[in-house]
A = this chain, B = another copy of it.
Amino acid sequence: MNRIIECVPNFSVSQQQDPEVYQQLVDTANSVKGCVLFDAQTDGSHNRCVFTVMGKPESVEEAAFLLAKKASETIDMTKHVGQHPRMGATDVIPFIPMSNVSVQECVEISKRVAERLWKELGIPSFLYEDSATRPERRNLATCRKGQFEGMPEKLLQPEWAPDYGERKIHPTAGITAVGARMPLVAFNVNLATSDVSIADRIAKAIRASGGGFRSCKAIGIKLEERNIAQVSMNMVNYEDTPLYFAYEMIKTLAERYGTSVVGSEIVGLTPAAALIDCADFYLKLENFDKKTQVTEYGLLNTSWEQSNEDGRNDSKGL
């Protein structure tokens, strides 16, 4: 059974502004066996980059630490300028379960990495998202408020002691948010109206903060080029709040406001399960077990490279 997690660390450096440091981070990610640098996004005006590392939990855990170490050796936050809010050379390290790993295991990984950041590098950290030790720390923006420059003062406030480390930032690497979360699905639903106030009202109704679905964040926006309104969502836990909950409620509310749904979109990646669960709902499937009935899950759990080398394998049913 292949166990896979994802880590999406954010660093306060960009290929555009500091290509050498950026390349050292890429090389560090590529130096760890058992995981791969799946994607890397770099933004010059934000002066920030986002890596996606995938692989075996122990490999990804090690890669996350080594990347934070390299960032602490090469990035000086006292000189960092960029448009994106940030508080550390390694700003945030989320661990995300992908295959045969629970969120709880990712929480444990986040705590071990946070401990090493402090003990080996002297970098304090907040635990956020599902690793948070108190409700207000779940939210990254709340943790990061004040940014790198305001952190020395913030850490002295009674309620803002770091989860790991003392009440002072690392002089050049700042402080890092470390946590575990479910994969996020960016899901937008387009309405047959140009009236963005309708999208606003629907967004408020369906999101957790408005009494709506617990794992749905939503805002109303205008798609200027198409002259239509859109309900733009982050589905932060598709197991808790399935995509079809949001879609069906938006459909119902659109009708209530005299309009309708013209389409939807998924931005970026989604786990197959988020969509398979929708098919299960709309086809009224009975007793469908995706983990055993969807071929790809079986394929992901098969070790092709290792198969048969010692004359036996993972075959089922024998």
> CB distance B303 to A54 under 8 Å?
no
Contact A299 B98 (CB under 8 A): yes
> Residue A54 contacts which of B272, B299, B305 (CB distance < 8 angstroms)?
B299
Digitize A268-312: 1 where CB-to-B-CB distance is under 8 Å, 0 elsewhere: 111110011011101111111000011111111011111111011
Interchain CB contact under 8 A, A36 and B314: yes
Contact B284 A280 (CB under 8 A): no
Question: For chain A, which range describes its interface: under 10, 10 to 19, 20 to 34, or 35 or more residues?
Answer: 35 or more
With A30-B312, A38-B298, A299-B99 known to touch, is A261 a contact of B275 (CB < 8 Å)? Answer: no
Q: Which residues of chain B have C-beta atoms less than 8 A from A30's C-beta?
A: 308, 311-313, 315
- How many copies of this chain does the complex contain? 2
Query: CA of A309 to CA of B35 in the docked complex: distance in angstroms?
Result: 11
Main SS at interface, chain A: mixed
| Contact status A308-B183, CB under 8 Å | no
Closest to A261 in B: B284
Residues of B within 8 A of A55 (CB): 304, 307
* A309, closest chain B residue (CB): B33
A binding-site residues for B, Cβ under 8 Å = 2, 4, 26, 29-41, 54-56, 98-99, 183, 190, 243-244, 247, 261-266, 268-272, 275-276, 278-280, 282-288, 293-300, 302-309, 311-318
